[in-house]
Amino acid sequence: MTADDSPTRSRFPALIPQPHTVIIHEQMTFPCVAFMWRDVAPEVSRYVETVRDISGMHSHASGVPVVPIDFATSRLPAEHYRLELREGSIRVEYSDPRGALHAIRTLVDVWDGHDRAWLPVADIEDGPELPVRGVFIESFAGTDLMELSDWQNLIDRLSQLKLNTMGLSIYGCWDIRHGDRPAEYLFTPLAQFPELRTTSRITTWDPDRERECDLEYVPVIFEQDLFADICGYAADRGVEVVPHLGGPGHSTLIPRVVTELSAVGADGDPTGYGYCLSRTDAREALRLLIRNLVDQHLRPNGIRRLHVAGDEYYPIRNVDPRDRERLVSPYCVCEGCRNLGPGELLVEYLVLVGAVLADYGIEMVHWHDTLVREGVLDTYLDRIEELGLPTPAIVWWKYNDPVPEPFATRVETWVAPTTGLFPHLFAQDFTPNISTAVRKGVMGGATGTLAYWIPDVADHQNVACLADLSWNYAASGGAVGFRRRWSQYVSPASWSDAEQAYDLASTVSASYPTMMYLADQILPYFADSGVPTSQYPDDLLVAFSSRQPPVADALRQVAATLREATTLMPRGGEVRYWANPLARWQCEMHRTIESLELFLDVLRLVRRPDDERNDSAEVDERARALLRHVGQTKPGYLAPAALREHWLFVREIAASVRRLRAVPDVGGQDSWHPWIV
């Protein structure tokens, strides 16, 4: 078939991640409505079902235009492949089974870009720039409600973008938010520690009954013991699972329940936060816990690396329900520990855990921050070397500027931007953070990326950026180059309009200070910080009523900019495994805009001395419409946490307006300046 006969003439679709080499021959295409295979090598046999799922392959020809695929091994670097597209057949050459999988994923991406009816005559030679490419899934509100199907969908999304690693937090603890106890998550039951079963409890809004409700539940992954199923599904799709064990910071549950390993205070009593690293019974209890984890979950599922966190190891407030202002230290001060500094305590913890894991042939991964902040990274690596333990991988993380310079001289090094923080807050464009982190990683000799994330399909652009830059950073053009290709990917017919809309929205959504320190502050998440003298939302409304600086005007400008961006955004189509990215983007922009404008409406009611019932009724209806929107658009596992953030504001509106109308300093109108307006 010639180019003139084809409805797709010379168009080659934008691909994410971008291949390294694409040669299009004579701008020709040929029809293809399905694929078949003639032979699959034994080393690819594990992935046969996955290949069938991805491509809709048939095991025999069912008539034209069904195109056969031939597989052949070749001397290529790890995960590399060659893909030859011809009318009579498609040839896949691969270095290893993952290379074959990547080739099929590229094939169906090209096919999807031609409406699943045509393919170009082309040659593609490709492979990753960074060996490790993935995301770290936090244990948090949302992931604790993910069903097995949610985990499987997530793995399909990641693997289609050629990401090959999924960090999975199986234990972590957070401070108190919207309740009276710390948020504690154990995702893998431990047979020898049955008392470590945890529950999540939140007050939220029921979108079906349109009223407040209380939810209390055991994390689904724990209750149904899903870890093995998740690992098996990931392995079948070429994705390595790296479990993440929080501690010795971010650990309230284990030391509170397993008191023999808890840090002790000056009075000699267990503190329930942090570990003792010197007493014999404490060290043995920690060894027993790690062995239980390995024997029950890691070794049976072929896990070869455990992420032993080591991050944010310092005293914090807002973890003691009896006194949320009390500074609680994770440092043990028993006779054996009191003369050790924080860095020395951390090194003792990591060495103890590492020695247990080494007996099973399991290596470690650590966050960089505490090792670097306490100046003990080299000391720790020296100790590891002296003991003959495997050298760990170090992950350098930061989600805003300045991104740290990774140190890759002595260890395997990864970098960790974020592909999305808390999805119950407002959606952010993290492509600049991703671009900067990957750039510094590549320049500094890093071999991988592992981006922090709580999964939300609305973050598709951020995850795609991570996948794209990790795969082919040299030709990516960074965040700017990615945005253009992303616009072409999600809206091939109107990509310049999409790019303009993204550019405009990014002036707000890609600004970390604007989103985190201004827009997100109107939700109760940050306001509920354990300060007894604060009152939400009254204190925020007072702060935003300031006429100099005009903070309310800043909020109004944010909403107006995002609304204008949504008017520019064209329609988009479905993307394999990810639904419609532009529709999701519109939903998140709508949630942000409506939330900010609702807050401004409430501020307007506060400033009016008379009770104008019509205005109050309109604000109430706007609030209810926002809640309905959140319930309809967020995934089921994220909806309760997202609805909680909005409901805890909405339910306080009437009472807050009554209280603040009696405060003289809150009255008055916004500031005004002609060129600002």
**Residue 200 and residue 107 share a domain:** no
DSSP-H helix ranges across 146-219: 148-160
Q: How many domains, in total, are found in the chain? A: 3
**What pLDDT does 528 receive?**
78
Q: Distance between CA 283 and CA 351 in Å, rounded?
A: 11
**What pLDDT does 614 receive?**
61
- The full length of the chain comes to 677
CA angle 314, 316, 317 (to 5 degrees): 170
Q: Distance between CA 152 and CA 448 in Å, rounded?
A: 23
Closest CA to 247 of 312, 185, 193: 312
DSSP conformation letters of 544-605: HT-SSS-HHHHHHHHHHHHHHHHHH------BTTTB-HHHHHHHHHHHHHHHHHHHHHHHHH
337-371 as b/e: b if 16+ CB within 10 A: beebebbbbbbbbbbbbbebbbeeebbbbbbbbbb
Which regions in the chain score pLDDT beneath 50? 1-10
CATH of the domain at 28: 3.30.379.10
Contact, 365 vs 391, CB < 8 A?
no
Q: In Å, how far are 26, 332, 374 from 344, measured between CA atoms?
A: 65, 12, 9
**Residue 183 and residue 103 share a domain:** no
Q: By percentage, how much of the chain surpasses pLDDT 90?
A: 80
**What pLDDT does 53 receive?**
82
Q: Distance between CA 305 and CA 408 in Å, rounded?
A: 19
Residue type at 649 in one-letter notation: F
Q: How does strand 448-453 pair with strand 132-137?
A: parallel
**Residue 180 and residue 325 share a domain:** yes
Structure tokens at 399: 């989600």
Instruction: Answer yes or no: is 396 within a domain.
Output: no
Instruction: Answer yes or no: is 526 within a domain.
Output: yes
**What pLDDT does 610 receive?**
63
Instruction: Answer yes or no: is 414 within a domain.
Output: no
**What pLDDT does 75 receive?**
94
**What pLDDT does 41 receive?**
74
Instruction: Answer yes or no: is 404 within a domain.
Output: no
Instruction: Answer yes or no: is 578 within a domain.
Output: yes
Q: In Å, how far are 490, 567, 579 from 112, measured between CA atoms?
A: 12, 27, 13
**What pLDDT does 5 receive?**
43
**Residue 212 and residue 94 share a domain:** no
Instruction: Answer yes or no: is 473 within a domain.
Output: no
Instruction: Answer yes or no: is 446 within a domain.
Output: no
Q: Which of 391, 420, 455 is the last residue of a domain?
A: 391
Q: Residue 317 is part of which domain span? A: 167-391
**Residue 119 and residue 210 share a domain:** no
**Residue 188 and residue 70 share a domain:** no
